[in-house]
Amino acid sequence: MSIRVKGLISFCEFTLLMVKRVPMNFKGSNILSIDQYERQDMVTIFSLAAFMECYAQRKKRTRVLEGALLGNIFFEPSTRTRVSFETAFYRLGGSVFNIADKTGTSMVKGESLEDTARVLGGYADVLVVRHPKEGSVKRCADVSSSPVINAGDGSGEHPTQALLDLYTIMKESGRSLDQIDGLSIAFVGDLKHGRTVHSLAKLLSLFKNIHFILISPNPLVMPQEIIQQLQSRGHTLEECRDLASGIGKADVIYMTRIQQERFSNPEDAERYRGCYCLNKGLYEKQVGSKNVPIMHPLPRDSRPGALEIDQDLDDHPNLAIFRQANNGVPVRMALFALVLDVADIFSRT
């Protein structure tokens, strides 16, 4: 395990993984929602992700997925998610075909999403799918002969982002999985449409005594069913409208972009753009010298009047956003290795 990730997984958790080998439930499985996971699964995923770091950085090489093909299918814009899935697959020695736009497919001739998934699932060993409509990635999984990974379905979920986010929280704050219990996290911005916060809230709810500080404009609050899920698992929540008062108690600050593309009238989004701007002055006043990572799934909206995270924080050591994006590669490598059943090879090296 590389030095940078030492301590991420406790010795007991690591030993358990090595003796247990890879649990069956990953092999050939879809990754559609955080609801399919248990806390113990994080030991498997993050131990393997930690192993993958040196391969992601090309300090070591592997061809373990040589001959395997990823179908990377994005019906919505993406920079990091699409390219990090692609990078992860290449780093494991596999090959990738990309579809980055519906207009280049036979869907413009009237072909259904299901038929598209049937055909592409027949070519590839695994599909990664992003789609603007909630539930549509599951529709692909229901008919595909290859496993399907959800890279974001409308306002629904973004499970692999949540996994890399939790991995980032552990690395940035030096917490092991057991030390996630008791964490206090501020989610800021468009909590109604933001699929990354939906998935991360569900993932954190697998731990104990999490305190969620939900900072959003009134019309953009976290969906009720997620709030109920968090409450039913014994976590505490506070909802507030004000960034300054909310972030002072947080161990982690998770900023999000106003999801303009999800509004029925995109002009309505203008009213909220720029409503929360974290800048150096505010961060230093509320957080002081504590190590409180600033996270964001990215892209941050850098247009004038938006700026969820001001560029005056760019050199701040607690700004984790680019390290967070980098963590997407080893975490997605781990997921591919588990789903395509080559993870055991790494536990023997």
Chain contacts with ligand NCD (rule: CB under 6 A): 80-81, 152, 158, 161, 195-196, 257, 259, 297-298
Min. distance of Cβ 161 from ligand NCD in angstroms? 5
Catalytic residue flag (residue 109): yes
Shorter beta-carbon distance to ligand NCD: residue 44 or 81: 81
Catalytic residue flag (residue 21): no
Choosing from 6, 59, 109, 303, the catalytic residue is: 109
Shorter beta-carbon distance to ligand NCD: residue 162 or 210: 162
Catalytic residue flag (residue 102): no
Catalytic residue flag (residue 193): no
Choosing from 81, 116, 160, 168, the catalytic residue is: 81
Shorter beta-carbon distance to ligand NCD: residue 235 or 296: 296
Shorter beta-carbon distance to ligand NCD: residue 268 or 341: 268
Min. distance of Cβ 267 from ligand NCD in angstroms? 18
Cα(248)–Cα(242) distance, integer angstroms: 11
Choosing from 44, 62, 80, 82, the catalytic residue is: 80
Cα(164)–Cα(296) distance, integer angstroms: 12
Catalytic residue flag (residue 87): no
Min. distance of Cβ 193 from ligand NCD in angstroms? 9
Shorter beta-carbon distance to ligand NCD: residue 17 or 140: 140
Min. distance of Cβ 288 from ligand NCD in angstroms? 28
Min. distance of Cβ 220 from ligand NCD in angstroms? 13
Min. distance of Cβ 333 from ligand NCD in angstroms? 17
Shorter beta-carbon distance to ligand NCD: residue 254 or 346: 254
Over the chain, what HEC string results?
A: CCHHHCCCCCHHHHHHHHHHCCCHHHCCCCECCHHHCCHHHHHHHHHHHHHHHHHHCCCCCCCCCCCCEEEEEECCCCCHHHHHHHHHHHHCCCEEEEECCHHHCHHHHCCCHHHHHHHHHHHCCEEEEEECCCCHHHHHHHHCCCCEEEEEECCCCCHHHHHHHHHHHHHHHCCCCHHHCCCEEEEECCCCCCHHHHHHHHHHCCCCCCEEEEECCHHHCCCHHHHHHHHHCCCEEEEECCHHHHHCCCCEEEECCCCHHHCCCHHHHHCCCCCCCECHHHHHHHHCCCCCCEECCCCCCCCCCCCCECHHHCCCCCECHHHHHHHHHHHHHHHHHHHCCCHHHHHCC
Choosing from 130, 202, 257, 296, the catalytic residue is: 130
Choosing from 131, 158, 171, 193, the catalytic residue is: 158
Residue 58 Ramachandran class (φ > 0 left, ψ -120 to 50 alpha, else beta) = left
Question: Which residues are catalytic, by number?
Answer: 80-81, 109, 130, 158
